[in-house]
Amino acid sequence: MPVITATLLIPDTEFEWGFSRSSGPGGQNVNKVSSKATLFWNVVNSASLPEEVRKRFLDAFPNKINKQGQLVVSSQRFRDQPRNVRACLEKLHELLMQVEAEPRRRKKTRPSRAATERRLNNKQTHAEKKQRRRPLRMDHGRLRDDY
C-alpha cells in the first residue's frame, strides 16, 4: 500500500523489503518465522519526493539514512509479518508528516520595558541578598562591608 500524506504519494514500487527472524518473546514461533520487517526506501533518488521536502528529510533524519541514501525503518513489535509491514509504513508516514510542511520562520521580538525592569529588579534584589550574607571585614582599623 502506498504512503499518502496531504501533499505526497509514494508508490509501493519505491520500497524494498527485508524480512528476518525477530528477537523477543514468541516461543518456538520466533525460531521458525521471519516476522521482523525492514523497509528500505531510497530517499536521495525518490521521484515522488519534492526537492525541498527531500532536503528537510535528509537534514532531520541523518541517522536513519545509510550510505547508499536509503532510509532504513524496521519493526518487530508484532508476531506476524503483515502487521510489522504496516508498522513500518506508519513509521515512515510519521517521519514524512514531520518534514512535509515548511517550518514557520521565527518572528524576532524584543522583551517589553516592564519585563526588562522586572529582570533588573530581581537581579538587584538577589545581589543585595548575597551582599547581606557576607561577613563584615576589618580594613585598616575600620569596618568595611563593600567587598
Q: Is 125 exposed, middle or buried (0-12, 13-18, 19+ CB in 10 A)?
A: exposed
Please check whether residue 92 is in contact with residue 74, taking contact to mean a CB–CB distance below 8 angstroms.
Answer: no
Whole-angstrom CA distances from 47 to 13, 25, 41, 66, 93 are 11, 39, 11, 18, 17
pLDDT in tens, 63-88: 988 898 899 999 988 888 899 999 99
On whether the 3-100 domain is CATH 3.30.160.20, my answer is yes
**All 3 cell numbers of residue 19?**
524480512
Q: What is the pLDDT of residue 137?
A: 73
> Of all helices (H) and strands (E), which one includes residue 58?
helix 51-60
Residues in the chain: 147
Rounded to the nearest angstrom, the gap between the alpha carbon of residue 53 and the centroid of all alpha carbons in its chain is 16
Q: What is the pLDDT of residue 118?
A: 97
Radius of gyration of the chain (CA): 29
Q: What is the pLDDT of residue 11?
A: 85
Whole-angstrom CA distances from 83 to 37, 75, 80 are 9, 9, 6
What are the φ and ψ backbone dihedral angles of 118, each rounded to 5 degrees?
-60, -45
Where along the chain do its domains lie? 3-100
Instruction: Give me the percent of the chain exceeding a pLDDT of 70.
Output: 86
Q: What is the DSSP letter of 140?
A: T
- pTM comes to 0.66
Q: What is the pLDDT of residue 83?
A: 92
Average pLDDT value for the chain: 85
